[in-house]
Amino acid sequence: MPGPDSTPEPVSRGRSVFAPFATPHTFNPDMGAGEALFAIAGTIARIFGACVLFSLWGGFSAWTWSAIPSHFWRMAAVGPLVLLFLAALAAFMRSVTAVERRVAQALKSSRQLPNKMR
């Protein structure tokens, strides 16, 4: 962004021109293969589950829409259907996160057990 005197800022030599557009990542670069696979499994579960929820909710909404004879009540039903979908999606995402945390804690605690207890 130019300064107040319209002189361009010097380009940083260590960064790419595309650095501001980099995809943010949440994976710790120091995690092992097992931890990375666990994180990938959680991400795939979120994607697949959200797709299934979206498709089922779309079918349910179409069925509900066609069952309402009045145009006024059809339009009145759109808001609650959208809000219920968003609530179901948020609940699904929170539940996947809760399962991930519990499994991660269980894995962490099993690593701390002595070899005799395993």
**pLDDT value at residue 14:** 62
- Over residues 58-67, the mean pLDDT reads 92
pLDDT above 90 for 68 = yes
CA distances from 33 to 37, 72, 75, 85, 108 (A): 6, 55, 50, 35, 15
CA-based nearest residue to 53, from 99, 13, 93, 16: 93
Least confident piece of the model among 31-40, 44-53, 107-116: 107-116
Per the listing, tokens 């219920």 go with 84
Share of the chain above pLDDT 90, in %: 47
